[in-house]
Amino acid sequence: MNIEGSVALVTGTSRGIGRQFATQLVERGAKVYATARDPRQIDVSGVEKLALDITDPASVTAATEAAGDVSLLVNNAGVSVYQNLVTGDLGQIHTELNTHLWGTLGVIRAFAPVLGRNGGGAILNVLSAMSWFSYEGVNSYSVAKAAQWALTNGVRLELAGQGTLVTGLHMGAVDTDMMAGFDIPKLDPADVVRAALDGIEQGRLEVLADDWSQQVKTAVTDPASFYTQVAR
């Protein structure tokens, strides 16, 4: 699809990757609905701000009513609670799954008819290299992202008939507030978003934004070798 002249809705635009999506979509000539739980926190110029809590069905419904011309949906909103599975806080784990899985699915279910009426358009789900591997201390995030990846693959099949492109974006560590506590090399959010939007325009089903994502996807076919490397 052509981003110029499209109408995009981006979830979670108050900071980080979502803010970059809103900014670059405006630069590429799209009309942009920038959403957040508190739209007062959105500081991107040239967008229409909307309140949206993706875990609240009433909020999602209100967004579809306010943005009935959407042709590109970017599911970016997310959370990381840094929990393990066996001993972690179940309430926090539910929060992650409610956001990444059920929240994303709720938004897609609400906007799929909108996209269909507007010619099909595209959906971009912001995933992670952790869709494909686990790591001690953040295993709940891996579960949530793996579920979101499976969701992406499923709705791609279901929406093909109405001409909707469904693309998954995977990347390693990105320099955002979510990763502020990790002293490791990080990607520039602007580069990640640029790769994702280029991928949408190229009609790609999956965008691997960095070498790490590519290595993980290749290596995970051999769990014994991969997790030995991770442990090191």
Domains of the chain and any CATH numbers: 7-231 (3.40.50.720)
pLDDT of residue 175: 63
Question: For each of the chain's 232 residues, which pLDDT tens digit applies?
Answer: 899 999 999 999 999 899 999 999 999 999 999 999 999 999 999 999 999 999 999 999 999 999 999 999 999 999 999 999 999 999 999 999 999 999 999 999 999 999 999 999 999 999 999 999 888 999 999 999 999 999 999 999 999 999 999 999 998 876 666 655 666 667 788 999 999 999 999 999 999 999 889 888 887 777 676 667 666 6
- Phi-psi group of 34: left, alpha or beta (phi > 0 → left; psi -120 to 50 → alpha; rest → beta): beta
Structure tokens at 225: 């070798």
pLDDT of residue 181: 60
pLDDT of residue 54: 98
pLDDT of residue 66: 98
CB 124 within 8 A of CB 74: yes
